[in-house]
Each structure stands twice: as C-alpha cells, then as structure tokens.
Structure 1
Amino acid sequence: MTSIMTNTAAMAALQTLRSIDQNMQTTQARISSGYKVETAADNAAYWSIATTMRSDNKALQTVQDALGLGASKADTAYTGLESAVDVVSDIKSKLVAAREPGVDKEKINQELSELKNQLKSISESASFSGENWLYNASTTAPGVKEMVGSFNRASDGSVSVTTLKFDTSESVLIDTDDANRGILTRDTAVTYASGTTTTTGTYYLLNADSTTTASGTEIALTTSMSDSELDGMISAVDTMLQTLTDSASTLGAISSRIEMQNNFVADLSDTIEKGVGRLVDADMNEESTKIKALQTQQQLGIQSLSIANTNAESILKLFQ
C-alpha cells in the first residue's frame, strides 16, 4: 500500500540516520577528549576504578616528595658522620704519634684542639630542613625519626601509610644538655694494658659544656702524661671510631633503602597510570577508523532519506 500520510521508508531512513549521528557524536567526543570512559555514564565500573587509582597515584607522588625529603636528611647526616670518622681517625693517629719518645705533646695537643673544633663544626652544620641528627641542644633526648615510605591500599579497600624509621640516638655526636647522649661527649670506658697489668679508664673526647657533664677524663695531651694513660686514650678514641663507623653504616643502609623505595614508588606510579590508561583511554587508531566509516554511513543515510522522500512525489503522477 502506498500512502501519502505515512512514509515508512523515510521513517526507517531517518531512524538510521539518527543512530549514525549519535555514534558520530560519541566517537568525536572520544577523539577530542582522548578518553573512551570520561564520565560515569560511559562505564560506571571502569570510571570508579580509574578515579580511585588516580587518587592513589596522587598520594604516591606525595610519597615521592616525602622520600626525597627523608633522603636529604639522611644524606646530610651521613655526610657529617663520614667527615667525623675522618677527623676522629686523624685524632687517633695524632695520639699514636704522641706515643713516640721525645715528641712535643703540647704542639700535638694544639692540633687535637683544632680537630675537636672541626668535629663541633661538622656536628652543628649537618642540618637539613631544621633537623640535625648529629647535634642535640634540646633537653629532650634524641628520638626516632619517621619518614613516609609508601601509601598502601589493602584488598578490603582500607588504606595505610608505611614509614621508614631511624633512631637518632645512635648518630648524635654532641649533646649540650646531657653529655652521656653524645658519642663524642659521653664517657667511654676502656680496658688497656699498663705494663704487665691491665688498667681500666674512662675518657671523653669533647667538652660541649653540657648541663649534665661527663665524669671521665677529657682526651687531651700534657707534657707530664704517662705512656699508660696515653694508651688508654688511644683505646677510647678507637672505641669511639668503631661506634661512629657502626652509626654511619646504619645511616648508609637507611639511605640505600630510601633510594630503593623511591625508585619502586616511581615505577609503581607509572604502572598505575598505564593501567588506568588501558581502562579509560581511547584508541585513536580505532576511533579514526570508526569516524571514517560513520561519515560514509551518514552520507549513505542522507541519500537513502532523499530517495525515500522522492518516492512519495511519484504519487502526483497518478493524478495528472
């Protein structure tokens, strides 16, 4: 049946053209934005996952900044300790040189005084962002320093922050409140040979005028000093040197751990970003192919609609 009231062919062609136009709008939006899932309406599940992971990735970037700050603090303290080890080694060699008969102990003691001043300078200068792990002038004892290490999300959705810790009581060289809290200001008890017998002694290297002072003997040379007492000072300095070496080793391990964690967090952040991209990014090769096909379909749809409208005009010939 042919009807001038209802053009079924035109209606079908128009419906097809509308569908093509809608698909073209979707494809054009993906091309312009770069996303196949830009809003929750596009794909609620993928959009939710992507939004959560993007938020976690921002947290990881903050963790990287915190790790950089922690690395700077640890590296500063390590540099100070490394320098202190060199200076204490020099002090040890000066004391050994003073053991030789006929050596001017007063001149060597002057050199020791300058080396001690250098140790004080190193301790006070090893500061970063207001924190000094080698020098303590507070009445509060040196404590554990925490550095943000990672941001974690458990399988149940809960989140947590992992920290890296370092006990600064192991690295403080000078404490102006309590001399017993500083490696170089506290008493170091040693046992050393004195002739055919064994003698014990207590020594400290630096006098920082601490509120609570050390009770031992300061390591300093005098012309009347006996070889036995000098041997005790050498033993004490060697013990301090071992303590400094252990502390530097611990700090070196912390610095290495921070660097490894920083590299891991950077790789993890990149991996998350790539994973999110796989979920929501548009494939431009695919979308460009689609737009070409849709443009062809649109042209054919317009032509089909034009043919359907032209068919209705043929009815006029029946009345001529």
Structure 2
Amino acid sequence: MSSINFNSSATNALQTLRDVNSKLQNTQNTVSTGLKVSSAKDNVAYWSISTTMKSDNKALGAATDALGVGAAKVDTAYAAMDSAIDVVNEIKSKLVTASESSVDKDQVNLEIEKLQEQLTAIGQAASFNGENWMVTSTKTTVVDGFTRKEDGTVKINTAEFQAGSYAMFSTIASGVGSGGILSAVMTIELTSAATQGKIDTYLSTVETALKELTKGAAALGAMSTRIDLQDKFASKISDAMKAGVSKLVDADMEEESARLASLQTQQQLAVQSLSIANNSSQSILSLFR
C-alpha cells in the first residue's frame, strides 16, 4: 500500500544514510588522526591504559635526562681523579729525587708545594652544576629510572655512589684542601734536615694515596658503566612502551582506507536510494491524470 502521509521507503533509506554518514565520519576521523582510540568514548579501557603509559613514558624520559646529568657528574669527577693521580705521581717523583743526598731538599719542597696547590685547584674545579663529588664527606645519588608498581604507585629509582669515601678532600678552606684521600699528602713538607726515613714515610703516604685514588677512579668507572647500561635499558623500555601504546590506540591504515572507500560507496548508494524513495510519491500523481 502506498501512502502520501508516510513514506516508509524514504524513512528507511534516510535511516540507512544517517548510519552510513555516522560510520563515515568516524572512519574519516580515524584516517586523519591515525588513531582508532583518540578519546575515552572510543574505548574507555584502552584510552585509560594508553594515557597512563604515555604519562609514564614521559616520566621515564625525564629520568633519562636526569641520568645524563648524573653521567656528566661522574665524568667530571673521573677527570679530576685522573688528573690528581698524575699530580700525586709527580710528588712521588720529587720525593724520589729528594732521596739523593746532593739535591737541595728546600727546592724540591717548593715544587711539592706547587703540586699540592694544584691538587687543591683540581678539587675545586671538579664541580658540575654546583655539585662536587671530589670535595665532600657524604654519599651522592643519581636518578636512573622510573617505575610503576602493581598497586599503581610510582617510584623514582636512584643509583648511589659513596662519594665521601672516594673524595679527594672533605673540605677546602682558604684555598687549601683538607681531609679526604689526599689529607696526608697535603701535609708533606721537606726541609734540608729531612732524613731518608722521613722521606720514606712520605713515599709510603703517597703510595697509600695513589692506591685510594685508583680505587676511586675504578669506582667512578664502574658507576659510568652502570649509567651507560641504564641509559640503554631506559631507551629500550621507552620503545617498548611506545609500541604497546601503538598497538592499543593506533589505527590500521590499510584497513581504514578500505573501510573509507566502502563507506563512501555506501553513502552514494544510500543517497540514490533515498532519492528513489522520495520520487515514488510522485508516481502516484500519474494515477489521477
């Protein structure tokens, strides 16, 4: 039965067109953004997970940047330690020279004093961003990671370095370093009356300092290796998190492209169907001619 008051065919065609247009709009949005889940309404669970993972990845990136600062501190401290070893070796050489009876020990002492001043200068210069691991009596830490626990709480991971145990000095006052590994070295003072026994004692002091400096340099080298490994690990974790987020929210562009073409065809057919349904009422007029 045909009716001029209600055209069911046109209504059905219109509903189909609305449905196709809605799907087409969603697909066009997916293609333009590259995301199948761009907001919470698309998929609440995946959107929540991806948002949290993106936030954590950003925090991990900040931790990695902080790790770079830590690496710079380690490198600065190592450079100072390496230079200090060279200077202490020079002091050792001067003491060996002073063992010769014909050498003017007062002149040798002047050279040692200058080398001691150089050690203080090295300690003062070993500062990065206001932090000096070569002049301290405390331990230090470096941020090296960010993790989220099973209960949802977050934790900042740190790597600890016992800087106070390997520091050249504990303090520097009035341009003179004191305490630390080089404490005894800074007290070396030759006079013309210095005996060989006294020189041997100083040599023993220097050897002890060199041993401790070498241990400190080795500890800094190990710390540097730890930071490098953590930096590589953080990079891999970051890539894995990005890949995880991608699997949750990124669109399959080949699939979406095919769907877009299909929906555009369906839209054209729906428009034609609606046009045909609307024209059916006009054919009723021919019955009255």
Q: Are 1:172 and 2:141 counterparts?
A: no
The within-5 A match list for 1:213-228 is: 218-228=187-197
| Matched residue, 2:96 | 96
The aligned counterpart of 1:205 is: 185
Aligned pairs for 1:185-264 (under 5 A) are: 185=183, 204-206=184-186, 218-264=187-233
1:114 paired residue number: 114
- Asked if 1:266 is matched to 2:246, the reply is no
8 A contact 1:35–1:282 mirrored in 2: yes
- Residue 147 of structure 1: aligned partner: 142
AA aligned opposite 2:54: R
TM-score (norm. length: structure 1)? 0.84
Structure number with the higher helix fraction is 2
Which stretch shows the higher mean deviation, 103-112 or 44-53?
103-112
Question: In the alignment, which of 177, 182, 185 is matched to residue 184 of structure 1?
Answer: 182
Post-superposition shift, 1:249?
A: 0.9
Gapped runs of 5+ residues in structure 2? Answer: none
Residue 157 (structure 1) aligned to one of 145, 152, 155? 152
Question: CA offset at residue 180 of structure 1?
Answer: 7.2
- 1:302 paired with 2:282, answer no
Alpha carbons 1:108, 1:221 under 8 Å: kept: yes
1:36 maps to which residue? 36
Q: Is the 8 A contact 2:14 2:274 kept in 1?
A: yes
CA–CA separation in structure 1 for the residues paired with 2:52 and 2:135: 43
Moved over 6 A (4+): 177-180
Question: CA offset at residue 176 of structure 1?
Answer: 4.1
Report the residue type matching 1:150 in the other structure.
G
Residue 193 of structure 1: aligned partner: none
For residues 11 and 61 of structure 2, what CA distance do their matches in structure 1 show?
A: 56
1:169–1:181 CA contact under 8 A, matched in 2: no
**2 CA distance for matches of 1:230 and 1:144?**
34
Equivalent residue of 2:3, what SS? coil
SS at match of 1:260: helix
Aligned length: 286
SS at match of 2:146: strand
1:191-218 CA-to-partner distances (Å, cap 9, x unmatched) read xxxxxxxxxxxxx221xxxxxxxxxxx3
Quick one: which amino acid aligns to residue 46 of structure 2?
Y
1:151 positional shift: 0.9
TM-superposed deviation, 1:289 = 1.9
Q: Distance in 2 between matches of 1:293 and 1:259?
A: 51
- Residues of 1 paired with 2:272 and 2:177: CA distance? 96
SS at match of 2:41: coil
- 3-state secondary structure, aligned to 1:135: coil
Q: CA deviation at 1:311?
A: 2.3
Q: After superposition, what is the alpha-carbon deviation per residue over 1:117-160, rounded to whole angstroms, capped at 9, x for unaligned?
A: 11111011111111112125xxxxx2121221211111222221
What one-letter code is carried by the residue in structure 2 that aligns with 1:266?
S
Alpha-carbon RMSD across the aligned residues, in angstroms, is 1.9
Q: Which deviates more, 142-151 or 175-184? A: 175-184
Unaligned runs of 5+ in 1: 137-141, 186-203, 207-217
Kindly, what percent of the aligned residue pairs are identical? 48
SS of the counterpart of 1:165? strand
The structural deviation recorded for 1:179 is 7.9
Following the alignment from structure 1 to structure 2, what is the Cα–Cα distance between the partners of residues 170 and 109? Answer: 29
Question: Relative to total residues, which structure has the larger strand share, 1 or 2?
Answer: 1
Q: Is the 8 A contact 2:172 2:178 kept in 1?
A: no
Q: Supply the AA of the counterpart residue of 1:248.
A: A
Q: Counterparts of 1:251 and 1:43 in 2: how far apart (Å)?
A: 49
Q: Which residue of 2 aligns with 1:211?
A: none
Q: Per-residue displacement from partner, 1:48-73 (whole Å, max 9, x unpaired)?
A: 00111111112111111211121111
